[in-house]
Amino acid sequence: MNFEFTPRLKELSARGRQFCDEVLVPLEQIADEHGELPMDRRDAVKDQVRAWGLAGINHSKEHGGLGLTMLEQTAIEEQLGRVTNGLWSCVWRPPVSLKFGTSQQIKDYLLPSCAGHRRGCFAITEEGAGSDPRQVKTTAVLKNGNWHLNGEKWFVTSYNASDFIIVHAHVDNDPDKPTLFLVDKPAQNLVHLRSPKFMHNFAFDHAELRFDDVTVPEDRMLGKVGQGFELTKDWFVETRLQIASHALGAAIRATELANDYATSRHQFGRAIRDFQGVEFMLADMAVEIFATKTMLYRIAWEIDNGLDRKQIHAHASALKLHSSEMAGRVIDKALQILGGRGYMRENPVERLYRDIRVDRIWEGTSEIQRVVVAGQIRKRGLAVFSDWM
Ligand SMILES: Cc1cc2nc3c(=O)[nH]c(=O)nc-3n(C[C@H](O)[C@H](O)[C@H](O)COP(=O)(O)OP(=O)(O)OC[C@H]3O[C@@H](n4cnc5c(N)ncnc54)[C@H](O)[C@@H]3O)c2cc1C
């Protein structure tokens, strides 16, 4: 086993870190106070993403991306995770499902998305369909060469930064026919209901939308009828690794801040790190980070080395569960070490504390990840997690 970071990985990690510190961190408080990244800042950040060579980090060169391995992407994503307010999402990652499009769809959607000229958001969740997407009620019916979409979608992240939506709908109202559609904005009969406030102040909004007989040309169906889940499966693996990378970066930043503060803050005539109650918290935080980092990079390596797809899904679920819960524990301790200062909004640890909570909910809740892990143990045995396969 070779755990060494190659010069290439070191360079990508350093670039991600520098980009985060120089371009994104200065925007954190602006985004927090404004509720999201103000519109008049967005183009300048896009230009920076291109200038730093970070456009299309998750796609092949053939599709306009950087052609990075999963390990390489992870090295960058970990550093981006340090930033608060979800500003890591300024570095676009076009949905993986787009690569399964027709050559025309790749030309119209994927290539410009990798270049940062277009952006897509993803709409699966509905009022009655969260963890169980078979409950989706949005329908797609083909009439005279056009698909007609009807339904309502919730929590559509980055709607106000996007110019198209990938909509998950049931063809003919049949839950066995989950299918994806590319809907360009603006679309007639597409109603933006509202973008509610959330616990975090993210870079972009999370919208609620109504499709009131929105028509989509027949050739804007992505993949085939019934392929909705199949096309998003690999994307879920990728997003789970991204969440884990961001959770790790966030936990490391919070721990660095707490560690520095524990040295500089004096109470009762000594540095607070000299109280074992504080130093033991730092020890636990370091061990949590160490374990998560080892797990994350192992799974990124497994993806690059073609481990069996089912096993990768199982490992990605275990990783997402562990890393999101780890970040919650570690950042909570960091805030405790910072005392009252950690509770101030101007402190990044306070913002990380709010930001990280959603990682236990989106892209499959912690309970759903446990369902996946437990199902794998039952079907394929504990060795899926306990052995080298
Ligand atoms: C900020 C934010 C952004 C989001 N962005 C998007 C987006 O861009 N696109 C999109 O489509 N969706 C998005 N979502 C939706 C997200 O994926 C869902 O919130 C998530 O899948 C959970 O669904 P739910 O909220 O309806 O909870 P529910 O599914 O109703 O779950 C409620 C509770 O029941 C538990 N539960 C449910 N089923 C089981 C089970 N089988 N076993 C044990 N426990 C169970 C859950 O774990 C949870 O604790 C976003 C959500 C948030 C908060």
Q: Which CATH architecture has domain 229-386?
A: Up-down Bundle (1.20)
Q: Which tens digits make up the pLDDT trace of 153-206?
A: 999 999 999 999 999 999 999 999 999 999 999 999 999 999 999 999 999 999
**Domain ranges (residues) in the chain:** 7-115, 121-225, 229-386
The highest-level CATH class for domain 7-115 is mainly alpha
Give the rounded percent of residues in the chain with a pLDDT score beyond 70.
Answer: 100
Q: Which tens digits make up the pLDDT trace of 69-115?
A: 999 999 999 999 999 999 999 999 999 999 999 999 999 999 999 99
The mean pLDDT of 326-331, rounded to a whole number, is 99
CB of residue 130 inside a 6 A radius of ligand 1? yes
The mean pLDDT of 121-138, rounded to a whole number, is 98
Question: Ligand 1: which of 362, 363, 366, 373 to mutate, most ligand atoms within 8 Å of CB?
Answer: 362
Given the CA of residue 158, which atom of ligand 1 is nearest to it? Answer: 8
Question: Ligand 1: which of 361, 363, 369 to mutate, most ligand atoms within 8 Å of CB?
Answer: 361
CB of residue 49 inside a 6 A radius of ligand 1? no
User: How remote is the CA of residue 360 from the centroid of ligand 1, in Å?
Assistant: 9
Q: Which tens digits make up the pLDDT trace of 306-316?
A: 999 999 999 99
Cβ atoms < 10 Å from Cβ of 171: 20
Are residues 84 and 32 in contact, defined by beta-carbon separation less than 8 angstroms? yes
For residue 271, the 8-state DSSP code is: E
3-state helix, strand, coil in the chain (%, to 5): 55, 15, 25
User: How remote is the CA of residue 197 from the centroid of ligand 1, in Å?
Assistant: 17
Q: Which residue CA neighbors atom 37 of ligand 1 most closely?
A: 131
User: Token pair 């199902």 is at which residue?
Assistant: 375
| pLDDT for the residue numbered 346 | 98
CB of residue 133 inside a 6 A radius of ligand 1? no
Q: What are residue 14's phi and psi, to 5 degrees?
A: -65, -40
**What is the distance between the alpha carbons of residues 327 and 347, in angstroms, rounded to a whole number?**
17
Q: What are residue 139's phi and psi, to 5 degrees?
A: -115, 155
3-state SS track over 183-216: EECCCCCEEEEECCCCCCCCCCCEEEEEEEEEEE
CB of residue 29 inside a 6 A radius of ligand 1? no
Q: Which CATH architecture has domain 121-225?
A: Beta Barrel (2.40)
**What is the distance between the alpha carbons of residues 352 and 78, in angstroms, rounded to a whole number?**
14
**What is the distance between the alpha carbons of residues 10 and 289, in angstroms, rounded to a whole number?**
19
| pLDDT for the residue numbered 256 | 98
Cβ atoms < 10 Å from Cβ of 47: 12
Q: Which tens digits make up the pLDDT trace of 228-276?
A: 999 988 788 999 999 999 999 999 999 999 999 999 999 999 999 999 9
